[in-house]
Amino acid sequence: MLSKVAERLYWTARYLERVENTARLVSVYDKLLFDLPDEINIGWYNLVILNSCTELFEDRYKNQDERNVVKFMLSDDTNPSSMLTALKMVRENIRTTRDVVPAETWEQINELYLFAKHNIQQGINRSKRHEFLSEIITGCQTISGLLYGTMSHDAAWQFMKLGRDLERADMTTRLLDAGTFALLSANGDASVNLRQIVWGNVLRSASAYMSYRRTVKAAVSGPEVANFLLEDPHFPRAVRFCLTQIDVAANKLPKHQEVRAVLKSIDPGALVIESEQQLGEDFRDYLNELQVQLGNLHNSIAATWFPIP
């Protein structure tokens, strides 16, 4: 297949994943903030921090309030990771790869994009936010399902997998970072109850709550959640699982030696986490390092298969 097409498919999947994750994140945050006692200093602005978008946000807005953050996350076209921008990128990439994806994909993404564009206000206002975001998540899953069920699992498919799993792994590290950061900003006096609320919501934002319960068979606690989301070999959003899937996909593509070597060097379990105390700034640095390594993995994928810029 064409190098250019490989690149576009990879980004299609990454952006599609980003749309879904952003919708999830906003949706979960909505619930999390309801659950927290008033005196706890965790705000909407954490979402901007965990997406590494603080500078961009400051350029655009003065107030770090709910409305501005949600607007920035969902509809802002100056934010390259906003849900609507990402959706637009999915649409543009599919528009230019229509010859390799199932014909219905184009219709579906159009429908979803038009829906999001016309109803974005529902996501920004609180009353219908949940319905709106559920609709978006369902739309993304419909497209993923459509691709999974009707697209030939050939090279094109492997590139979509690479993009999807890389974006997922990256997002999972950010979700963990969000939890850690939220508890740190509670000024150290986070009660057991608060910790459970925060880590529970981290799990929910990765749709991992049920799997965690079944797999870990223990109460929700920071170290267990971190280990589960980093290391679990079966849960599809765990970093370990994503990396294994990337390796499986890479292995089916030509000229994969270098990419697989880079993959081998990434170990999400390198840090042994046994106590709450370990989930501080050092843990945040560790997550940041993982994100850098995932960035290197992307560079290696691009250098191996994508057109020379």
Q: Assess 80 for contact with another protein (CB under 8 A).
A: no
Any idea which residue has 């989930």 for tokens?
279
Nearby residues of 114 by Cβ (< 8 Å), 6 or more positions away: none
Please, what is the minimum distance in Å from the beta carbon of residue 135 to another protein? 16
CB closer to another protein out of 4 and 153:
4
Based on its alpha-carbon atoms, the radius of gyration of the chain, rounded to whole angstroms, reads 19
Q: Assess 6 for contact with another protein (CB under 8 A).
A: yes
Q: Assess 208 for contact with another protein (CB under 8 A).
A: no
Q: Find out whether 220 and 206 touch, Cβ atoms under 8 Å.
A: no
Please, what is the minimum distance in Å from the beta carbon of residue 114 to another protein? 6
Q: How many CB atoms lie within 10 A of CB 105?
A: 20
Please, what is the minimum distance in Å from the beta carbon of residue 90 to another protein? 13
Token code pair at residue 42: 């965790």
- Segment interacting with another protein (CB under 8 A) among 13-21, 62-70, 106-114, 142-150: 106-114
Instruction: Determine the residue type at 10.
Output: Y
Q: Find out whether 124 and 46 touch, Cβ atoms under 8 Å.
A: no
Token code pair at residue 295: 């960035």
Q: Assess 254 for contact with another protein (CB under 8 A).
A: yes
Q: Assess 305 for contact with another protein (CB under 8 A).
A: yes
CB closer to another protein out of 217 and 255:
255
- Segment interacting with another protein (CB under 8 A) among 2-10, 165-173, 185-193, 216-224: 2-10
Q: Assess 99 for contact with another protein (CB under 8 A).
A: yes
Among 67, 95, 234, 264, binds another protein (CB under 8 A): 95
Q: Assess 252 for contact with another protein (CB under 8 A).
A: no
Q: Is 200 exposed, middle or buried, given 0-12, 13-18 or 19+ CB atoms closer than 10 A?
A: buried
Nearby residues of 129 by Cβ (< 8 Å), 6 or more positions away: 26, 27, 30, 70, 122, 123
Q: Assess 4 for contact with another protein (CB under 8 A).
A: yes
Q: Find out whether 163 and 89 touch, Cβ atoms under 8 Å.
A: no
CB closer to another protein out of 2 and 192:
2
Q: Assess 155 for contact with another protein (CB under 8 A).
A: yes
C-alpha closest to that of 162 among 279, 47, 263, 22: 263
Among 137, 182, 250, 253, binds another protein (CB under 8 A): 253
Q: Find out whether 203 and 53 touch, Cβ atoms under 8 Å.
A: no
Please, what is the minimum distance in Å from the beta carbon of residue 5 to another protein? 7
Q: Is residue 250 classed as helix, strand or coil in its secondary structure? A: helix
Q: Assess 98 for contact with another protein (CB under 8 A).
A: yes
Q: Assess 218 for contact with another protein (CB under 8 A).
A: no
Q: Which residues bind another protein (CB under 8 A)?
A: 1-6, 95-96, 98-100, 103, 106-107, 110-111, 114, 155, 253-255, 305, 307
